[in-house]
Amino acid sequence: MKNQFTKFYTLLAAGLLAAGSICPAQDDAPPPPAEPEYNGDMAPEAPAYAPSSATPGKPSEDDDNIIRKPKEAPPPPPIEFTKAEAQKSCAKYQGKLLSVYGEIYKIQNCVRHRVNEQEDIFKFSKQGIQVVEVNATDVAAIPVGESWENANSKERPCATFNKKYITFSYTDIYFVENCVRKLIPDYETLLAHRKERGQTNGEVLALSSKEFWSMKHGRDITSIIDKEFHKLLEGSAGVDIIPIDEACKGVDGKIVTFYSRMYKIEKCRKREIDAESFTMHGGAGSSKLTELKPEQWISMPDGKPYSDKK
């Protein structure tokens, strides 16, 4: 009987094991797979939201986060003008000085020459050539050439100006002798110099900077005013001396002039002051200065120069 029960339970256990209803022991279960260890040489997996890229390191063409530079349209073709249109514009502006959006051009022989030097613009204004403001469309038919400085860089030889009056800044006038320029110090001397040479209406030629500075600067021409002044100093002018009270009557304490010099009269003594400095600093004001007569000037004794007054 015992053998029968043992046989029955053996058959039952075998059937249950075949059906998978009995699990093996925990000690016999296989171990779980080990997690990989991360180190600096291994890149982490990309997150699920990372943008896709066809080429590593470059954004995809479908990425909306990339701002793309718009394609630039090709420039329009240049406008071509007929010969008749160019000649019409040239005839209208020939020889004039034009301002086109702040740039100054001189129209010469149907070519626009840009003027870069303020000195040249000043020379044109002295010649009566005024700047005319125009639009670019008004002169578009006139071709643009080289700058005015380069177009007029041809230097005339100094012999061209021999025995002639020249200027560079339109303020000082020179007389040229043997390629040497000599300054004419004042207008009275210019008139006297012209009269001596029989050139009462001699033209004053304007030189370029290259032409002007290529000539040597000689000794200035003696002022005709200084000649008369020296005659007084030498006593050869034939001026009589008058009493000192009469000489300083009405001018004592005032600023006076005598030829190219300026004085302050104090106690009937003439004290010379720097005329240029006094005028530049507005010392003369709007008052009219008194011009001394030769007999007044020679009759009053000299005092210390006014600038040395303590």
- Which residues, in sequence order, are CB contacts of 277 under 8 Å at separation 6+? none
Q: Residue 219: which H helix or E strand, with range?
A: none
Query: Residue 235's pLDDT is what?
Result: 60
CA atoms within 13 A of residue 296's CA, in its CB half-sphere = 19
d(CA 194, CA 199): 5
**Helix-helix angle 187-197:224-234, to 10 degrees:** 100
CATH of domain 158-222: 3.30.2390
Nearest CA to 202 out of 164, 174, 173 is that of 164
Q: Which position has the higher pLDDT, 5 or 239?
A: 239
If you average pLDDT over residues 277-304, what whole number do you get? 72
If you average pLDDT over residues 39-47, what whole number do you get? 51
Could you tell me where in the chain the CATH 3.30.2390 domains are found?
A: 83-151, 158-222
Query: Residue 226's pLDDT is what?
Result: 66
Query: Residue 82's pLDDT is what?
Result: 81
In this prediction the pTM is: 0.38
Question: Which region among 42-46, 103-107, 124-128, 298-302 has the lowest average model confidence (pLDDT)?
Answer: 42-46
Neighbour-count burial of 263, counting CB atoms closer than 10 A to its CB (0-12 exposed, 13-18 middle, 19+ buried)? buried
Tokens of 43: 């890149």
Query: Residue 121's pLDDT is what?
Result: 83
For residue 51, name the pLDDT band (cuts at 50, 70, 90).
low
The number of angstroms, rounded, from the C-alpha of 118 to the middle of its chain's C-alpha atoms is 9
C-beta separation of 191 from 165 below 8 A: no
Q: Which position has the higher pLDDT, 192 or 41?
A: 192
d(CA 3, CA 11): 13
If you average pLDDT over residues 55-83, what whole number do you get? 67
Name the residue type at position 40: G
Q: What is the DSSP string of 139-164?
A: STTSPB-S-HHHHT--PPPGGGGTTS
Q: What percent of the chain has pLDDT over 90?
A: 7
Q: Is the pLDDT of residue 309 over 50?
A: no
Dihedral (CA of 171, 175, 181, 187) sign: negative
d(CA 150, CA 153): 5
Strand stretches in the chain, DSSP E: 97-100, 103-108, 111-114, 131-134, 165-167, 173-177, 180-184, 204-206, 216-217, 255-258, 261-266, 269-273, 290-291
If you average pLDDT over residues 113-132, what whole number do you get? 83
C-beta separation of 207 from 167 below 8 A: yes
User: How many CB atoms are located within 10 Å of the residue 49 CB?
Assistant: 5
d(CA 226, CA 241): 20
Task: Please list, residue by residue across 63-88, b when 16 or more beta carbons sit within 10 angstroms of its beta carbon and e when fewer do.
Answer: eeeeeeeeeeeeeeeeeeeeeeeeee
- In whole numbers, what is the pLDDT of the chain averaged over residues? 74
Name the residue type at position 215: M
d(CA 247, CA 297): 8
Query: Residue 282's pLDDT is what?
Result: 56
Choose from 62-66, 96-100, 191-195, 229-233 the range with maximum mean pLDDT.
Answer: 96-100
Alpha-carbon dihedral angle through residues 192, 196, 197, 198, given to the nearest 10 degrees = 90
Q: Residue 2: which H helix or E strand, with range?
A: helix 2-19
Query: Residue 218's pLDDT is what?
Result: 92
Query: Residue 22's pLDDT is what?
Result: 46
Q: How confident is the model over 97-108, as pLDDT tens digits?
A: 889 888 899 888
Q: Is the pLDDT of residue 303 over 90?
A: no
If you average pLDDT over residues 265-285, what whole number do you get? 72
Say which CATH architecture domain 83-151 belongs to.
Answer: 2-Layer Sandwich (3.30)
